[in-house]
Structure 1
Amino acid sequence: MSDTILKIENLSKSFGDNTVLKDINLELKEGEILGLVGENGAGKSTLMKIIFGMEVIRETGGYNGKIFFDGKEVNFLSPFDALNAGIGMVHQEFSLIPGFKVSENIVLNRESTKNNLMTHFFGEGISKIDQKDNTKRAQEAISKLGVNLTGQEQINEMAVAYKQFTEIAREIERESTKLLVLDEPTAVLTEDEAKILLDTMKKLSDKGITIIFITHRLNEIMAVSDKVTVLRDGQLINTVPTKSTNVNEITEWMIGRKVSTSSEGKNIDNSNVETLMEIKDLWVDMPGEMLKGLDLDIKKGEILGLGGMAGQGKIAVANGVMGLFKTKGNVKYKNEDLVLNKPTYPLEKGIFFVSEDRKGVGLLLDESIERNIAFPAMEIKGQFLKKYLGFLNVIDDKAVTDNAKKYIEKLEIKSMNEKQKVAELSGGNQQKVCVAKAFTMEPDLLFVSEPTRGIDVGAKQLVLETLKEYNRERNTTIVVTSSEIEELRSICDRIAIINEGKVAGILPATASILDFGKLMSGIKEGE
């Protein structure tokens, strides 16, 4: 492997004032497999979008630096340019045509055709598709993967794993492919299926195809890659031969500091604490965040954290319990079965949810701050209502205003007054309104998803401290879902890491950051 296929020099990219990649330098040889790792937001996706010529890069001002591919400087204006040059990419989201067969998707836009009598008169535009040759080409590509597909299967009738194999077969069927980018290709695969894919990657590498393998499963990086590159906060931290490093060292590079390999804190014995909610075999069909048979016990009075990499299912726990996405399984709350797929039911039982989608689910943007804060309690519990003429329920405006003023002061919601529309507030203050709504409901169990997303450091601390205070004062059970593990460690008693739709492990908040990193990377406890 002596020929350089990809070289990146001093590459930087900003979206407005936000620098997402800074001075990236990288070189890949023909047939090398590079493992590219980093936490959420490290810059991996942006780097791949630049390499693949995605329109969003050009539309946001392009990038600084140089990219050389196959010996020539390139600046692709579209993915079609990248494909024609010999770069293939398999995204996390499928780009298959559901109503087509596997073989038709594999050769799409590159179909073999054959001439007939009419082409002699009217030209190639009315050539007939050569179904036999197309099927043969597709089967040859599939055979390189070692999976049991004939090519005649309908995409919309296939399991997710086989859709993934179809995507990869499509890219390697292109004769010109020299670089293949695989973005989390094993995330939807079983262990056996993932092993087949890793073996396939090695075969493709032996044929001279260079591969960039993006994954959070560090054990797969160690098994298949020639070298590993770690990104953190838009900077390239290190690129080393895989054989010269280990999972612990990679994890330390990803999180940004040296850590102990053992937990310093004591394990919390909560075996005698009452279980408030018992979740068994929970499946949630939430796009990009599916749960696949999750088991979890939530103890009364605790703050439980739900962590994990993006797309692994942590967001789906609360959304499933609250009935916002199609769900199946068994959930017991206070020793009674909780009705699933009925959003009003958990609210009536004293469960509330501060959604990660504050604008789509959490707020009435055109309504005032005070109405937003009072609305759920008004609708579900009949609060903030008074009798008019002895029998009509009308809104108690004074009670609504007094309640809003209390939380505006307590949560330091920056606004003109309680009458201001929520749409006019900053993202951080909108989030505080969502928290105020939850506190007004006085729930026994509160789910809070991504409570500090998009808000400044000062506001983050205030929101987190307020949640802790609410838990201490009222003994309210709180389940916090967050992409930031340090955030969870600062307020939680226990933290469950969700990986591939299930609980990978539960650790006390005092456990080593390395232990959390291993669980997030698919390394089981004890490995």
Structure 2
Amino acid sequence: MTDAQSDSAPYAIELKGISKAFGPVQANKDISIKVRKGTIHGIVGENGAGKSTLMSILYGFYKADEGEIFINGTLTPIPDSQAAISAGIGMVHQHFKLVENFTVVENVILGAEDGALLKPSVAKARKLLTELAAEYELHVDPDAIIEDLSVGHQQRVEILKQLYREADILILDEPTGVLTPAEADQLFRILGRLKDEGKTIIMITHKLREIMDVTDTVSVMRRGEMTATVKTADSSPEELAELMVGRKVLLRVDKSPTKPGQTVLQVRDLVVHDEQKVERLKGVSFEIRAGEVLGIAGVSGNGQTELLEVLGGMIAATSGEIVLNGDSIDLTGAKSDGQSRRKRGIAHVPEDRQREGLIMNFAAWENVAFGYHHDPKYQKNRLFMDNAAMKRDTAEKMEHYDVRPPDPMLQAKNFSGGNQQKIVVAREIERNPDLLLVGQPTRGVDIGAIEFIHKQIISLRDEGKAILLVSVELDEIFSLSDRIAVMFDGRIMGERLPDETNEGELGLLMAGVTKGAA
């Protein structure tokens, strides 16, 4: 579709004066937005800006307190998701809504059966899936079990589900969060094909580069309000970031060349089996020196989690050796746990802040003290801890790390995701560790908090500390790492210097393809 055609195309979606409050929190405030038919429209904003709430209203998960929804020019009440589907709206969620032990075709017809007898529905779906796959390059085996498919193919199934239900409007929430670069490129080709066929696509993402590459128009939300809608070609990542945050944002970490010192961590032939005796780490070896960041790239589920958990003392290893500052660490779990790791100078920012980094119903000051409650400055005497000292310490950390609101008494669950992450990062970095283990440091974190957290990691590196960074975000890996190792299926596939590689090469390694095999 040309720009001229795009400008003259009718509106597939028009939201007028949409407002939604949850108690005292105004999630959406008088939002109006128009999305032209046959375009890809991006929506960006910080955590808590109201993006997901707005799309949930459009898809019928929530009902707006005020406002109207027009689909193809017609006023269309959407009280629930069934009404949204009937109006031709489909949504592909960030976390897929698939039954893992069902086949592709069973997932596609689930909830859209033609009657009590499944056989006719399955036959119809199989025929239609073949046609859709050919038309939109969504090739996937209809009889494959979901749990046996790659993440990229599972996402194709989600899109096929919506097309099977004859959706003309597709909402995609963070669609590339768990994809390799090659899978993301394939997704964008599919979206382009859907657009060419007249489908309308709304894409929620925090990746500004994807917005620039894929969308025709982009809307920016901040604090529940729509601040701007611009043609993507007339904007830039820097402008969009400033509109999102309300100030200029440094999109790439400004760091000096590394000056690595002595070896802090050596990992040799590390093997880990899970509780089902499945081998998760298969002879992993690497080292990290003082004053450098080793980034571990890879799609989630390829052993990175187990690597962090072994190093952090959360699980035992089957075999191998870990040497910290010249001394071996017991890997059996008998004499080693998270507490002993902390005493030896290892700090750990876990991948899942809510399940592993915080106790959500406890106050911020309690969470800041967790794991470090034996610190002498927290002790009033041998019998009692000094709660007042913990609260003062938390207040200081909150001020330094710009945690909002800066209230040590507030429960962790009442902070936004970005501020929850700042609490965890502050607790671990401020302990001046020799080795920092950090998993997915900015997962679900808005662009302003990303900038801050990145600066803290580089500051620690510049103080001569060793840092192991695990991230599925290649931009983050390239921005922070001094060396990059790629994991696939529990193995290190290769190691590269950031200046001597690119996303294409890393993407192949992330998919298990070495240069010779390619």
- Report the alpha carbon displacement of residue 277 of structure 1 after superposing the two structures with TM: 3.7
Structure-1 residue corresponding to 2:180: 190
Amino acid at match of 2:244: M
Name the SS of the counterpart of 2:383 in structure 1.
helix
- Report the alpha carbon displacement of residue 210 of structure 1 after superposing the two structures with TM: 0.7
- Report the alpha carbon displacement of residue 86 of structure 1 after superposing the two structures with TM: 0.8
Q: Aligned equivalents of 1:500 and 1:283: distance in 2?
A: 22
Name the SS of the counterpart of 2:12 in structure 1.
strand
Q: Aligned equivalents of 1:154 and 1:98: distance in 2?
A: 7
Contact 1:431 1:451 in 2 (8 A): no
Q: Residues 278 and 6 from structure 1, CA distance in 2 versus in 1: closer, same or farther, beyond 3 angstroms?
A: farther
Structure-1 residue corresponding to 2:151: 160
Amino acid at match of 2:125: N
Q: Residues 234 and 337 from structure 1, CA distance in 2 versus in 1: closer, same or farther, beyond 3 angstroms?
A: farther
Equivalent runs, 1:18-37 vs 2, <5 Å: 18-37=25-44
For the pair 1:241 / 2:231, whether they are aligned, the reply is yes
Name the SS of the counterpart of 1:48 in structure 2.
helix
Query: CA deviation digits over 1:385-434, x for unaligned, max 9?
Result: xxxxxxxxxxx995031x43573475378xxxxxxxxxxxx9834789xx
Indicate which of 69, 73, 92 corresponds to 1:90. 92
Structure-1 residue corresponding to 2:495: none
Indicate which of 408, 411, 416 corresponds to 2:393. 411
Larger mean CA deviation between 85-94 and 201-210 belongs to: 201-210
Larger Rg: 1
Q: Aligned equivalents of 1:374 and 1:217: distance in 2?
A: 33
Q: Residues 3 and 72 from structure 1, CA distance in 2 versus in 1: closer, same or farther, beyond 3 angstroms?
A: same
Indicate which of 66, 69, 72 corresponds to 1:67. 69
Q: Residues 205 and 327 from structure 1, CA distance in 2 versus in 1: closer, same or farther, beyond 3 angstroms?
A: farther
Structure-1 residue corresponding to 2:337: 345
Name the SS of the counterpart of 1:257 in structure 2.
coil
Larger mean CA deviation between 337-346 and 181-190 belongs to: 337-346
Equivalent runs, 1:269-280 vs 2, <5 Å: 269-271=258-260, 273-277=261-265
Name the SS of the counterpart of 1:411 in structure 2.
helix
- Report the alpha carbon displacement of residue 477 of structure 1 after superposing the two structures with TM: 5.6
- Report the alpha carbon displacement of residue 267 of structure 1 after superposing the two structures with TM: 1.1
For the pair 1:213 / 2:203, whether they are aligned, the reply is yes
Q: Residues 105 and 281 from structure 1, CA distance in 2 versus in 1: closer, same or farther, beyond 3 angstroms?
A: farther
Indicate which of 78, 81, 100 corresponds to 1:79. 81
Indicate which of 414, 420, 428 corresponds to 2:408. 428
Tell me the TM-score normalized by structure 2.
0.65
Tell me the TM-score normalized by structure 1.
0.64
Structure-2 residue corresponding to 1:12: 19
Name the SS of the counterpart of 1:400 in structure 2.
coil
Indicate which of 189, 194, 201 corresponds to 1:199. 189
Equivalent runs, 1:87-166 vs 2, <5 Å: 87-111=89-113, 125=116, 128-129=119-120, 131-166=122-157
Q: Aligned equivalents of 2:201 and 2:269: distance in 1?
A: 36
Contact 1:112 1:133 in 2 (8 A): no
For the pair 1:453 / 2:420, whether they are aligned, the reply is yes
Q: Residues 151 and 24 from structure 1, CA distance in 2 versus in 1: closer, same or farther, beyond 3 angstroms?
A: same
Q: Aligned equivalents of 1:156 and 1:30: distance in 2?
A: 35
- Report the alpha carbon displacement of residue 6 of structure 1 after superposing the two structures with TM: 0.6
Query: CA deviation digits over 1:459-514, x for unaligned, max 9?
Result: x7xx95x978753xxx7666674642354367551588865266523459xxxxxx
Q: Percent identity?
A: 28
- Measured on the aligned residues, the alpha-carbon RMSD in Å equals 5.1
Amino acid at match of 2:102: F
Name the SS of the counterpart of 2:247 in structure 1.
coil
Equivalent runs, 1:373-522 vs 2, <5 Å: 398-401=381-384, 403-404=385-386, 407-408=389-390, 410-411=392-393, 428-429=408-409, 452-453=419-420, 471=432, 481=441, 483=445, 484-488=449-453, 491-492=456-457, 493-494=459-460, 499-500=471-472, 504-507=477-480
Amino acid at match of 2:337: Y
Equivalent residue pairs, number: 428
Q: Aligned equivalents of 2:233 and 2:357: distance in 1?
A: 47
Name the SS of the counterpart of 1:7 in structure 2.
strand
- Report the alpha carbon displacement of residue 223 of structure 1 after superposing the two structures with TM: 2.8
Contact 1:281 1:295 in 2 (8 A): yes
Q: Residues 281 and 197 from structure 1, CA distance in 2 versus in 1: closer, same or farther, beyond 3 angstroms?
A: farther
Amino acid at match of 2:408: G
Q: Aligned equivalents of 1:279 and 1:43: distance in 2?
A: 44
Q: Aligned equivalents of 1:42 and 1:375: distance in 2?
A: 33
Larger mean CA deviation between 243-252 and 498-507 belongs to: 498-507
Larger mean CA deviation between 210-219 and 86-95 belongs to: 210-219
Indicate which of 200, 210, 213 corresponds to 1:223. 213
Equivalent runs, 1:38-53 vs 2, <5 Å: 38-53=45-60
Contact 1:112 1:134 in 2 (8 A): no
- Report the alpha carbon displacement of residue 359 of structure 1 after superposing the two structures with TM: 8.6
- Report the alpha carbon displacement of residue 110 of structure 1 after superposing the two structures with TM: 2.8
